[in-house]
Amino acid sequence: MPKIIFLPHKIILPQGAILEAKKGETILNIALKNNIQLEHACGQSCACSTCHCIIRKGFLSLSGGSEKEDDILDKAWGLESESRLSCQAIIGDVDIEVEIPLYNVNYVTEY
């Protein structure tokens, strides 16, 4: 089983986490199953960028992104070349390393 390594996030996940994943699951579903409160304001429908994450290792092992995802990602804060929406990125066979950006565009949430 591949592993998802969540790098430490100052607010959401100060210690980071290493989680087992099943091939075919999304990064967001793995996070939520393990009580990592990753934002997902649109209910995983690829309509916002609040679940934006950056794949630091294993990017090419994920499912390919769609044109719709790319359009939504354009609105993400701190966009990088290896950014994905965690609700759309499907796990493959390889371990991945994920960074959750410190900020997102959901102005409603207060930490």
- Report yes or no on 107 lying in a domain: no
- CB burial of residue 58 (10 Å; 0-12, 13-18, 19+): buried
- Report yes or no on 75 lying in a domain: yes
Query: Considering its fold, how many domains does the chain have in total?
Result: 1
* Beta carbons of 84 and 62 less than 8 angstroms apart: yes
Count the neighbouring beta carbons within 10 Å of the beta carbon of residue 35: 8
Which range marks the domain in which residue 54 is found? 3-97
* Beta carbons of 95 and 4 less than 8 angstroms apart: yes
Residue 37 backbone class (left: φ over 0; alpha: ψ -120 to 50; beta: rest): beta
Say what the pLDDT of residue 104 is: 75
> Across the chain, where does the E strand assignment appear?
3-6, 17-20, 52-57, 83-85, 96-99
- Report yes or no on 60 lying in a domain: yes
- Report yes or no on 24 lying in a domain: yes
Q: How confident is the model at residue 106 (pLDDT cuts 50, 70, 90)?
A: low
- Report yes or no on 110 lying in a domain: no
Query: Is the per-residue pLDDT at 111 higher than 50?
Result: no
- Report yes or no on 7 lying in a domain: yes
Tens-digit pLDDT profile for residues 70-100 = 999 999 989 999 999 999 999 999 999 999 9
Q: For residue 21, how many C-alpha atoms fall within 13 Å in the half-sphere facing its CB? A: 29
- Report yes or no on 26 lying in a domain: yes
Residue 44: which CATH number? 3.10.20.30
- Report yes or no on 89 lying in a domain: yes
